[in-house]
Structures are given as C-alpha cells and as structure tokens.
Amino acid sequence: KKASIGVTGLAVMGRNLARNLARHGHTVALHNRSEQRTKELVEQFGDEGDFIPAYSAQAFVDALERPRQVVIMVKAGAPTDAVIDEFVPLLEKGDVIVDAGNAHFADTRRREAALREKGIHFVGTGVSGGEEGALHGPSIMPGGSKESYQSLGPLFEDISAKVDGEPCCTHVGADGAGHFVKMVHNGIEYADMQLIAESFDLLRGAGGYSPAEIAQVFQTWNSGRLDSYLIEITQQVLAHTDAASGKPFVDIVADQAEQKGTGRWTVQIGLDLGVPISGIAEAVFARSLSGSSNLREASRGLGGPSRAPLTGSALDTFADDVEQALYASKVVAYAQGFNQIQAGGAEYGWDIDLGKVASIWRGGCIIRAKFLNDITAAYAEEPGLPTLLTSGGFRKAVEDAQDSWRSVISTAVRLGIPTPGFSTALAYYDGLRAERLPAALVQGQRDYFGAHTYRRVDREGSFHTAWAADGRPESSA
C-alpha cells in the first residue's frame, strides 16, 4: 500500500501533523534528515495509524501515491529551499509540494513560480494552532493553484479544526496568498496579545487588582463577547503561581517580549502596501521597547506622575470600562488586518474571500474567537465593506464603547501607564471619522519647501503656490 501524503521534517509540528493525518485514516509516509526522529515517531505513535517510514528521499518519494503530495515542515528560509532542492529532482509533473512552515509569502511566490515551470504545484500553506493544533486540528490556510487543492483540500479539511461542522481550511488564493494570510493572522495575534497585556497592566496599575483577581476578571470576559483562546490562556497564565518562589508567575518572568519575525513582516508589508495597520505596528514596537534593555535601564529615573490608583465609582466601573476599551481596540486591530489582506489581494491578484478567512480562523488558530463569527457575518452582509468599523454591528458596539474607551486611555495617560495599543486604536478611529484632517497643512508644508503641489477642495487639478519666491503667496495651476 502506498501513502496518500508524506511529511518531511518531523520536529514537533511536522510530527503532530503526520499523526493527525494518520489518526484520520490516511496513510502517511515519513521522512526526516536524521533517521532518529522517524524511528521515534513510529515507535511511540505507530499504533495511531498507517505510517510508512522512509530513510532516504528516494524511498520517501517511492512510498507516495501519484500525484505525490509532500508536506515540508522545516525552518523557514534556507532550510526550506534546501529540502525543496533535494526533492524536486525526484518528483514529476503534477506532483504537489506543500510548505507548511511560517514562510515569508514573497519566498513562497518565488518558489511557486520556479516550480510551476517544472509542472510541480507548490502550495505555501499557513498552519496555525501550535503543537496542539497540529495534532488535534489546526486552522489551515493553503495558497497555490486551484488544481492542487482538488487533491490536497479534502485531506487538509479532514484534519483541520471544525466549527459548527465546517472545516477551518479553505483555498485562500494563488501562490503566496496562504502565507500572506497567515502572516496577517500573526500580526493580528501580536495586536490582540498586546491589547490584552495592556488591559492587565491597567487593571493592576490603575485598578489595584492582583494577578489572581485579574484572572477572575478575564474569566468573566471570556464568557461574553471577548470569548477567545487568547483570553482563556491569559486567565490561566495569570492564575498560575510559580512553584519555586510562591509568587504570581507573571511577576517572575523577565518582561522582555521576544519575536520570531512574522509580526515584523506584517508591519513591513503594511508599510509597502500603504495600509495603516497601526495596531499591529504598535504591538511589534511594544515588544521591541520591552527588549531594549539599555534604553530602559538608562531611562529608569525619568519623571512621571504619581500613581495613586483609582477609588470610588471610577474603580467600581473600571473593569467594565477596560473591557469596552479592549473590545473597541480589538475591532480596530482586526479591521486594519482585514484591510491589509484586502490590499494584498489587490496588489498580488488574489481573489481572497475575507468572510471565509474570518470563518477559518474561528477554530484551531491562536486568534480563534467567537468574535470572528461577527466578522464573517459583516462581510456576508456587505462583501465590499471598506472597513469593519462601518458594518452595522461593529459600528454600534464601538460607538457604545467609546466613552469607556476614552476614559480608560485618559486614566492611563494621567497615571503614566503606557497603552500604545489602546491609544493608537482610538487615534485611528478618530482619524477615520474626522471631517477634516491636518493633512491639509502637511500638504501646504510640502508645497512650501519642495513645490510638491497640492489638490484643492474646490477645483480640479494640481496647484503650487509661489511661497518664498516673492514673499506674496499666489496660486497657479
């Protein structure tokens, strides 16, 4: 018997994907650079399904049904190219190579174009949900050709998470679309995490709550509109006591957030596309600031306001106010992320169904949340929606939240608690709804120093004013 699919790269993500496939009744060929991992998988989990261990690239390829489907799960970058180079000579027209790692979508586009010339389908696929997701059902975001999805789709839909009976997997779009969407997923993940972290900081610093009390607050939120995986794990992290010190776990962890790079890519591409994804950008910058030890060390003595926590009625409503601020800021972050996907789709010619993206993020992935149902509904109602903020439900919820949102941010400013995520989200909201922006003045400045010209509100055409030339400003077409 031959295998319907093979996995090469059997570190934890690859191993768990292979096990997930086998547990669903698919025969899986296994391959790893060092034999040890392959042997271990078969020894430990061989009874979970049908595995065909292969100890050379050739044996691996020979074990596969045609068209062959090879899933690569190795480190992004050079290691991925090395594995592709190793397998391509052994494959034939019509075969499919899947890169299920966190590749940069530009690399995926390059690889897809190169392999298309050889008649091989290259499918860059986003996979979210960490180790547990890979084993029990991730959210899967495949790009590549429609043709490749005919054979691959049923397998991936089978092993993906399910919500309301629907698989959290869809063909996202051509070439790099899957990895692009996974990248934005991670950017939104960064923003969501930062907003939750700011909520914690405020509840503690302004509200005087202990980590255990904040865990309780998050538990309550998790049964409402913020119901999500990230809120759920936040509650667990905050409730955890460090065994060695007896202190709240959150107090013994070094406060320097690391990053592997997908959030940074999201921001870089956001800049290239000219999409204001300020919530994601602030989240990346907040991690960078936290990790800037020298800067922080040098700045420790800088003056700030005295930090008397809230009392009385302000304290009574504070947790609810923070919930509203978190919700509204989260809507902004998602609205920005979806706009980036829309812009990426337009730039690279992908036909991405935004509502469908929201629906495959409802389960399996790190940002899975009840909230995503509302995003799917918003796009179903109005497919050309310019921003989630103007869709019926979100518009009302954010308008209703804004008094609390503004009050939480002013409390933060007054007490000197940094809330870059909340603040930038509100600034974006106010920027969008503004009747007139001071950008008009910026245009005037540009025209003054560089004759960069400006457009007028009352006439067509582009204009330049002879500013300093004769001391008397005058307009000319």
198 neighbors 190 (Cβ within 8 angstroms): no
Residue 379 C-beta: closest distance to ligand 6PG, Å: 21
d(CA 95, CA 93): 6
Q: Decide whether 260 or 436 has the Cβ nearer to ligand 6PG.
A: 260
Say how many Å lie between the first and final Cα of the chain, rounded: 77
By beta-carbon distance, which residue lies closest to ligand 6PG?
128
171 neighbors 125 (Cβ within 8 angstroms): no
Angle between helices 278-291 and 318-348 (to 10 degrees): 110
Catalytic site residue from 189, 198, 282, 323 = 189
d(CA 400, CA 140): 35
Residue 189 C-beta: closest distance to ligand 6PG, Å: 5
For residue 320, give the amino acid letter. D
Alpha carbon 67 to its chain centroid, in Å, reads 32
- By the rule CB under 6 A, 263 interacts with ligand 6PG: yes
Q: Decide whether 128 or 278 has the Cβ nearer to ligand 6PG.
A: 128
- Taking CB under 6 A as the binding criterion, the range among 76-84, 258-266, 333-341, 387-395 that sits at the site for ligand 6PG is 258-266
Residue 29 C-beta: closest distance to ligand 6PG, Å: 25
d(CA 98, CA 125): 7
Any idea which residue has 């005295």 for tokens?
306
Residue 282 C-beta: closest distance to ligand 6PG, Å: 15
- By the rule CB under 6 A, 364 interacts with ligand 6PG: no
- By the rule CB under 6 A, 129 interacts with ligand 6PG: yes
Catalytic site includes residue 189: yes
d(CA 5, CA 156): 11
- By the rule CB under 6 A, 288 interacts with ligand 6PG: no
Catalytic site includes residue 131: no
- By the rule CB under 6 A, 99 interacts with ligand 6PG: no
- By the rule CB under 6 A, 102 interacts with ligand 6PG: yes
d(CA 27, CA 459): 68
d(CA 115, CA 120): 5
Catalytic site residue from 112, 182, 198, 330 = 182
Residue 366 C-beta: closest distance to ligand 6PG, Å: 4
Q: Which residues bind ligand 6PG (CB under 6 A)?
A: 102, 128-130, 186, 189, 259-260, 262-263, 365-366
Residues tagged active-site: 182, 189
